[in-house]
Structure formats: C-alpha cells, structure tokens
Amino acid sequence: MANPKIRPAVAKDAVALSNLILENAHELLLPYYNEEQWIAFSKFYAPDEMKKKIAEQRIFCAEVDEQIAGTIALDKNLLVGFYTNIHFLNKGIGKMLMEYIETLTVKEGITELELTASPLAVTFYDKMGWTRIKVNTYYYFGVGFEETLMIKNLI
C-alpha cells in the first residue's frame, strides 16, 4: 500500500464519501440497526447531505493511490463521520486519521475532543485512549440510535 495522504474534503468528494460510509456501515453496522434506523442512517449520509456536511464541517480524506481510503470530520470539538473504506480496514488508516485530527486540534488550542460511538466502535476508541462517559440515545431524522458518548483529553 502506498503511503496515505490526508487532505481536506471538497464538494466533488460528496458522492465518494457517501458511498464509502454507506458501504462501511452496510458491512459492519447493519446488524446493529433496525430497518427504520438504516433508512435514517442512509439519508444522513446521502450525497446531498454529504455536500452540506463538507460545507459546514471540517472533513478530511485519507487517500491511497487517489482512492479515498477513509474519512474523519470535526464539528468544533466533536469528532463525527469517522469511517474507513471497507477495503482498507485494519491497515492503519483509522489510526492515522485519528492521530491527524488530534495533532491538528492540539495545534489549534483544542484540549478535549468528544464523539459518539456506535456499539461496534467503542472498543476501537478504548484502544485509542478515549474515555466512556455514558450511553445516550441520539436522534437523526427523528430516529433514535443508542451510542456511547466518549471524550479524550489531548494534553
């Protein structure tokens, strides 16, 4: 695998990012979601929604050979939209993206990050030094998802 590079997402990435996230979720998260949740999740990451997110959030792409291998987004100090292309799982892309965001935010004076983790992702975040705060129900398009609020102190 060539060395991944990280760059800001641009509007033309919306379809590729939507496809990456939905493919990842279909493979890994679908067993955790009921039909109503899957429909809401699919809407939340549809290409038009991704275009809005690119305009409103700081979204980054990890690229390998001009293919998006992963993505991570930051909305103030909240980490959102963190997914790896299914073909690049377990190759260090997620860890690299997480380290990139942590380094970037520390340089900008942000000392604590938050995220909400799906049941599948909690163990990954545990390994990356995040602390579990509480399990909450978060709503997207009026549909509830049980996720774990986690924080990480960066200094």
Euclidean distance between CA atoms 33 and 26, whole angstroms: 10
Where are the chain's structural domains? Answer: 5-110
pLDDT for the residue 3: 86
pLDDT band at 2 (very low <50, low <70, confident <90, very high): confident
pLDDT band at 1 (very low <50, low <70, confident <90, very high): low
Q: Above pLDDT 70, what percent of the chain?
A: 99
Is 54:9 a contact under the CB 8 Å cutoff? yes
Is 29:120 a contact under the CB 8 Å cutoff? yes
Reduced to 3 states (helix: H, G, I; strand: E, B; else coil), residue 107 is helix
pLDDT for the residue 79: 96
- Of 21, 58, 11, give the one whose Cα is nearest residue 42: 21
Q: Above pLDDT 90, what percent of the chain?
A: 93
Please give the average per-residue pLDDT across 65-78, as a whole number: 95
The amino acid sitting at 32 is: Y
pLDDT band at 155 (very low <50, low <70, confident <90, very high): confident
Is 17:59 a contact under the CB 8 Å cutoff? yes
Provide the token pair at 76. Answer: 């103030």
108-134 b/e (C-beta count within 10 Å ≥ 16 → b)? eebeebbbbbbeebbeebeeeebeeee
pLDDT for the residue 111: 93
For residue 72, pLDDT over 70 is answered with: yes
For residue 71, pLDDT over 80 is answered with: yes
CATH class of 5-110: alpha beta
pLDDT, one tens digit per residue, over 11-64 is: 999 999 999 999 999 999 988 899 999 999 999 999 999 999 999 999 999 999
